[in-house]
Amino acid sequence: MLGDAPEQGAKRNRGRGASRSPADNLGRRLDALAATVDLGARVADDPLRFPKRYRDPGDVEVAGAFAACLAFGRVSLFAPVIAACLDEADGHGGPAAYAAILADASTRRAFTGRYYRWLDDVDLRGLFATLGRARARHGALAACFVAGSAAQTLEGGINLLRKELPDDASRALRSLFCRPSDGSACKRWCMFLRWMVRRGAPDFGLWTHLDPAALVIPLDTHVFRVAGFLGLVEGRTPNWRVAVALTEALGRFDSADPVRYDFALAHLGISGTCRGHRDAEVCPACPLDAICKAPAAATSADASPRSPRRR
């Protein structure tokens, strides 16, 4: 499927004659990891597959925001809920059209009986309605997120979306709209922005008013764990400060597109390839093997099964 970034990024940051410092070696290993990931196969197991159902930019941004908001926990559990909701939206003209319909507060029935974790059908409808009202007021979700620092872009965009929440929005629905100022890593919204802004595969690159260099990596459990193995992050809590620090560290290897490593890092875990500890069966084939400082054996916290997991 798509694929520009690895070699272009490497050329931007490391010339042919560059010496092999430890940092340079790390960059080359990350480039190798990004180059070897099977984008087509991995997208099929990623929430990105939901906005990929659409071509219209309005449908892409609504489906993307909705899917990103529900992309927590096990892929096998949230994916059917997103698919069912989007199927219902498709029956009403597509996600953008359905969001516009649900933006009318008098429309009370949608996603009946659907739920995911603590979000019930009222919350799912409220999320769609919020996106619809934001689009009605600003023309597009893209217009809510204006250029600036990553924190400014996210904070401003999410604040505008929060203004469109239903008056009776539940705590569960409001929790989807956390901001950098709350200390949250804002993984869902960073992932959504990556999808919309990054020009390279597997992302859309639709929001050209924002600079990929200003994105912050979506810091999920997989990325956080592997970044720790590489010495790129410290601590036990994946918060906003750590997400920014990791992005800055990755920017040493591709300053124009630091989050291009996100997809490959995340899918080391999502695919079940990385077991969270050194493993004689899988580690020798991993591009990060020579620089990975994962523990020798699984701890109860690190142990992960070999089938689909979390995003």
Q: What is the CA radius of gyration of the chain?
A: 19
Q: Is 79 in the site for ligand SF4 (CB under 6 A)?
A: no
* Minimal distance, residue 287 CB to ligand SF4, in Å: 8
Please, which residue, 88 or 279, has the CB nearer to ligand SF4?
Answer: 279
CA 117, chain centre distance (Å) = 19
Q: Verify binding: residue 288, ligand SF4, rule CB under 6 A.
A: yes
| Stretch binding ligand SF4 (CB under 6 A), from 10-18, 162-170, 254-262, 266-274 | 266-274
The nearer residue to ligand SF4, 160 or 292, going by C-beta atoms, is 292
3 state DSSP class of 207? coil
Nearer to ligand SF4, 130 or 304 (CB): 304
What's the rounded Cα separation, in Å, for the pair 89 and 129? 12
Asked if residue 82 binds ligand SF4 (CB under 6 A), the reply is no
For position 229 contacting ligand SF4 by CB under 6 A, the verdict is yes
**Number of residues engaging ligand SF4 in binding (CB under 6 A):** 14
Q: Are 70 and 116 in contact (CB under 8 A)?
A: yes
Answer yes or no whether residue 286 interacts with ligand SF4 by CB under 6 A: yes
Q: Residue 28, interface with ligand SF4 (CB under 6 A)?
A: no
To the nearest whole angstrom, how small is the minimum distance from the Cβ of residue 147 to ligand SF4? 34
**Largest Cα–Cα distance of the chain, in whole Å?**
65
CB 101 within 8 A of CB 159: no
187/267 with CB nearer ligand SF4: 267
Q: Which residues, in sequence order, are CB contacts of 243 under 8 Å at separation 6+?
A: 185, 186, 187, 190, 216, 217, 218, 219
Long-range contacts of 203-210 (CB under 8 A, 24+ apart): 203/48, 204/51, 204/60, 204/64, 206/57, 206/60, 206/61, 206/142, 207/142, 207/145, 209/142, 209/146, 209/147, 210/145, 210/147, 210/153
Q: Is 74 helix (H, G, I), strand (E, B) or coil?
A: strand
Residue 139, amino acid: G
**Min. distance of Cβ 254 from ligand SF4 in angstroms?**
19
The nearer residue to ligand SF4, 79 or 294, going by C-beta atoms, is 294
Note whether 226 binds ligand SF4 by CB under 6 A: yes
Under the binding rule (CB under 6 A), the answer on residue 283 touching ligand SF4 is: yes
Query: Is there binding between residue 289 and ligand SF4 (CB under 6 A)?
Result: yes
- Residues found near ligand SF4 in the complex (CB under 6 A): 226, 229, 268, 273-274, 278-279, 282-283, 286, 288-289, 292, 294
